[in-house]
Amino acid sequence: MTDYLVAILMFGGIYALLGLGLNLQWGHTGLLNLGLVAFFAVGAYTSALLTLHGVPLILGPVVGLTLAGLAAYPIGRLSLRLQDDYLAIVSFGFAQVVQVFIINSSWTGGNNGLTGVTRFFPSLDVTMRLYLQLVVVLALVLLTIFMSHRLTESPYGRLLRAIRDSIEAVGNLGKNANDYRLAALVLGSAFAGLAGGVYAHYIGYISPDQFDSTLSFLIFTGIVIGGSSHWGAALGTLLFISLMEATRFLRDFEMLPVSDSQFAQIRLMVVGVVLVLVMQRRPQGLWPYRHRSRRARVRAC
């Protein structure tokens, strides 16, 4: 039972990295990236393929996050000059293209996926490896929160929020808003690539069906629940994904006399009701972002 709870926290931590990347794009900059799962897949497959060909394990996720960020650059360059809706359309289309490419490429394993991906701490026993993996993931989440906080509390972060609120006003101040938006898109996608690399080496097996576009909407839901602060995005995503994973096996207790398909529908309906109730009570999320001015920080010191 303990190992199962640790596994749920592992998935929650990995998806929290995705939530932090999306929060930087959507929560702080207003970029509607519906293709987050594509950058997650780029990081996962890049890291898995490199390590399968003898590259050291530590370099796999690093190269994966780099390629995920580079993949976001042309998408942002093409779409951010147009209206905001175009980024949503282009990014969603990119996610479909990536999935089709993975399915139809022999070197990615096609529908069969990639097996035998090198795991973290392979020389240790299963229990010790599980706990050390959790420590690594939580450390990466905390490091990402720290970096995101330092970024959004800087003048650059204040400019991102100004772009989110009124891109026309930022343009009137002589700032090139598209360059700042592009940087936020690339950095958030790099976070998603890092999450993908960690995911691949934790699971040890990846396939195209693990990178369905539904995952992007689940991460959006986690941010809505948690709020636009970095802690809120991470904890909201972790709580929501953990709830989804934990309720998956309630059917084994035979609490309701229903079939498996009916239970899956009831499970999603209950999660939806919880989401509605949270939004009624906390429309800004459980932990909304509250910017403190420089003067307020000085007084607090």
Domain presence at residue 247: no
Domain presence at residue 23: yes
What Cα–Cα distance (Å) separates residue 160 from each residue in 31, 43, 296?
A: 10, 25, 21
DSSP state of 258: -
Domain presence at residue 66: yes
Total of domains in the chain:
1
Cα 181 to chain centroid distance, Å, stands at 18
pLDDT beyond 50 at 74: yes
Q: How far apart are CA 250 and CA 268, in angstroms?
A: 13
Domain presence at residue 199: yes
| Percent of the chain scoring above 70 in pLDDT | 90
Of the candidates 203, 194, 64, the residue with the CA atom closest to the CA atom of residue 120: 203
The residue to which tokens 């690339």 are assigned = 186
**For residues 239 and 12, is the Cβ–Cβ distance under 8 A?**
yes
Domain presence at residue 278: no
Read off the pLDDT of residues 196-251 as tens digits, 9 standing for 90 and up.
Answer: 999 999 999 999 999 988 888 889 888 888 887 888 888 888 888 777 777 766 65
pLDDT beyond 70 at 301: no
Read off the pLDDT of residues 42-67 as tens digits, 9 standing for 90 and up.
Answer: 999 999 999 999 899 989 999 999 99
Structure tokens at 240: 């929501």
The pLDDT assigned to 114 comes to 92
Domain range for 151: 2-211
What Cα–Cα distance (Å) separates residue 137 from each residue in 57, 134, 160, 198, 289?
A: 15, 5, 27, 8, 23
Q: Angle, nearest 10°, between helix axes 2-22 and 126-152?
A: 20
Structure tokens at 168: 């026309």
DSSP state of 63: H
Read off the pLDDT of residues 96-137 as tens digits, 9 standing for 90 and up.
Answer: 999 999 999 888 989 889 998 988 888 888 788 888 999 999
| Percent of the chain scoring above 90 in pLDDT | 40
Q: How far apart are CA 36 and CA 217, in angstroms?
A: 9
